[in-house]
Structure 1
Amino acid sequence: MKKVTLLATALAMVTGSAFAADMPVKALKAPPAPAFDPWDIAFGGALMNDYIFRGVTQSNHKPSVAAYFEPRYNVNKDLQLYIGASGESISFTNRAAAEIDIYGGIRPTFGAFAFDIGVWGYLYPGGTCYYGAANAFNGGLTDSAGRPLSAECLANAVPNANTLKKDVSFVEVYGKVNYTINDSFTVGATEFYSPNFLNSGAWGNYASITGKYTAPSTIFGSSGVGMYVSGEFGRQWFGTTDSFYGTAVFPNGIHYADYNTWNVGIGFTYKVFTLDLRYSDTDLSKGNCSVFTGAFNASVGTSPITGTNPGGNSSNWCGAAGIAKLSFDLTAMTNLK
């Protein structure tokens, strides 16, 4: 009897296990996926010993500060819309208070290709007209529309007779593309076009190629410090200015000299901070640099006298420069959560 009982118990256990295996198992509910938030904001600032734009100092080779604010909307992982505003301290002949930039565009991505297409407005408020060239060389004394120059223009002149309009604000359309070769190497190209560069009446076109090498994250061990090396080679082309910048030889306007510019540098990153050390230069002569920039501190009579440079002025605003820039960059989605 005892054996029968044990056998029955064993059979019940086996049968029960078989039934249990056949019973449907209730799946555990997966945690809900985090909601996709398309909005983001990027912002940051920088301190640099020299503000260089396409090889030309905007701060008279003096320190400059900058800041930016950029709301973004991510349509999906491959398409971003953005608008932004930034500001930089400058030192122009017309004594403009600052450079204020307003911009916006789209950033589509296709595999290893990342594009950036948009419009950029450069505003220079608070300027004063300086028309030294008219006093010395151009007897027209009219603006680009043929109207007599204001008393303000005629009253202001720098000793070297260089010239700059009160308002040099302008707009560019641009396109950029970067191709990521691998985790370390990226190459790219840029194109900027303005129908009225620096409000001079001359069109401007800038194109460049870029390259960047990002070192492996382990190069400095577990310190969190990153490193990169990058460079750019570009060329700036110009049309002919309006008569405001005319000379005795070219009373209807002058043609700024086209030029090449290049820079190369090394950068170090740590969390949201970047220290960028860079060398920049152009092939503009000191005389052509003075004509283009209207530098208030250009020396007189030290460059060859030409139809566009009647005073033989020279400026170092377009020459070799070393740039040290410390910046920070944050985004709300990444850094402020």
Structure 2
Amino acid sequence: MAPNQCITFWDRPQTGQWRAVNRGFAGEFRPQARGHGFCRKPPRTAPFHSQTANMNKTHIALASALIASVSTLAHAADAAPAPAAPTPDWTVTANVSLASDYRFRGISQTDKRPAISGGFDVGHSSGFYVGNWNSNIDADFFQGGNVEMDFYGGYKGTISDFGYDLGAIYYYYPGSGRKPNAAVVKNTELYVGASYGPVSVKFYYPLSDFFNAENIYGGGNAGGSYYVDLSGAYDLGSGFGVVGHVGYQKLKGAAKLAEADGHVTKDYTDWKLGITYALPNNFVAAVSYIDTNRKYLGATGHKVSNATGVLSISKTF
């Protein structure tokens, strides 16, 4: 590096999840430190000075210039920052959560009891991703299965200011169907989502019988059922955030849900409003209000879709 050449210092960008959520952006700052130096004009010599004296002065000048050059390079080397680490092609994150209830599309999956959940996500810089999420559930509600395991994968990216997400998710309930006259509970859905700013919408469509409803209830395949999820999140500052959600579930074929008064319904709407707070070490605390427009009964006779408050604390690794 030349003595008078400018040295540019770079701040490393900070990098910023879904089950989205399912499942941050960084800026960069470039101050500059300008190099500096000085030159000295050699004194004029008389014409009768000897050639030896002139050569001595030349040697001294060259030595001084060399020392100054080496010193400048040494200072430049000391001041130059280490190169920023390249952004990895692959990222792996994990999560764990404790909640007072596990609500899926507005309906309690734990018979209104606490849930422990967790999973992991693997993403590539190209936009492809895969992941897994697991939680305890109510065995009576799921034909003997007491664990839900979700496996998903897809591709997401952006076009201008819009985001998109395409993928599939498989819901697996190990242990379901082992009891007499019990059916295996499972479901596979395709999804397509779009986002703009803090708002997102996602459409889920089952590939086959919706949660194996035909084997559980009879009356025809439940293919064609679908779910629409409209969600949003907003940063309030000081670690606080607000989240909102409205969803609509349409049931077809054998899929159905019975309300407390015995009325059988084929669709319902659910909604959620919550406050989040970011704690140190990647912990997040949340309190949410969740409700639906139906009063469904669980396997134990509890109303599993009525209004409730859910407390949770989660951590991302």
TM-score for the superposition, normalised by structure 2: 0.66
1:190 to 179, 197, 202: 202
- Matched position secondary structure for 1:198: helix
Q: For residues 37-79 of structure 1, what are the alpha-carbon distances to aligned partners after superposition, in whole Å with 9 as ceiling and x for unaligned?
A: 201101110000000000000000000100101111112xxxx
| CA contact 1:38–1:73 (8 Å) conserved in 2 | yes
Separation (CA, whole Å) in 1 of partners of 2:242 and 2:308: 18
**Structure with max Cα Rg:** 2
Q: Does residue 1:113 correspond to 2:162, yes or no?
A: yes
Superposed, 1:48-197 pairs within 5 Å as 48-75=99-126, 80-91=127-138, 92-93=140-141, 94-128=143-177, 152-153=180-181, 165-180=182-197, 186-194=198-206, 195-197=208-210
Separation (CA, whole Å) in 2 of partners of 1:214 and 1:111: 22
What code does the residue aligned with 1:207 have?
V
Separation (CA, whole Å) in 2 of partners of 1:231 and 1:193: 22
Q: Which residue of 2 aligns with 1:266?
A: 275
Root-mean-square deviation over aligned CA pairs: 3.5
Separation (CA, whole Å) in 2 of partners of 1:120 and 1:255: 27
Tell me how far 1:166 sits from its aligned partner. 2.5
Q: For structure 1, which runs of at least 5 residues remain unmatched after alignment? A: 21-25, 131-151, 154-164, 181-185, 220-225, 246-253, 299-314, 331-337
Tell me how far 1:317 sits from its aligned partner. 0.8
Q: Which residue of 2 aligns with 1:202?
A: 222
| CA contact 1:85–1:102 (8 Å) conserved in 2 | yes
1:212 to 225, 228, 233: 233
Q: Does residue 1:296 correspond to 2:299, yes or no?
A: yes
Relative to structure 1, the CA distance from residue 297 to residue 3 in structure 2 (aligned partners, 3 Å threshold; closer, same or farther) is closer
Percent identity over paired residues: 26
| CA contact 1:240–1:256 (8 Å) conserved in 2 | no
- Matched position secondary structure for 2:125: strand
Q: For structure 2, which runs of at least 5 residues remain unmatched after alignment? A: 1-43, 48-53, 66-71, 214-220, 257-262
Q: For residues 211-234 of structure 1, what are the alpha-carbon distances to aligned partners after superposition, in whole Å with 9 as ceiling and x for unaligned?
A: 221023xx3xxxxxx110111111
Aligned residues: 240
Separation (CA, whole Å) in 1 of partners of 2:186 and 2:149: 9
What code does the residue aligned with 2:130 have?
I
| CA contact 1:86–1:102 (8 Å) conserved in 2 | yes
Tell me how far 1:236 sits from its aligned partner. 0.4
Separation (CA, whole Å) in 2 of partners of 1:65 and 1:3: 89
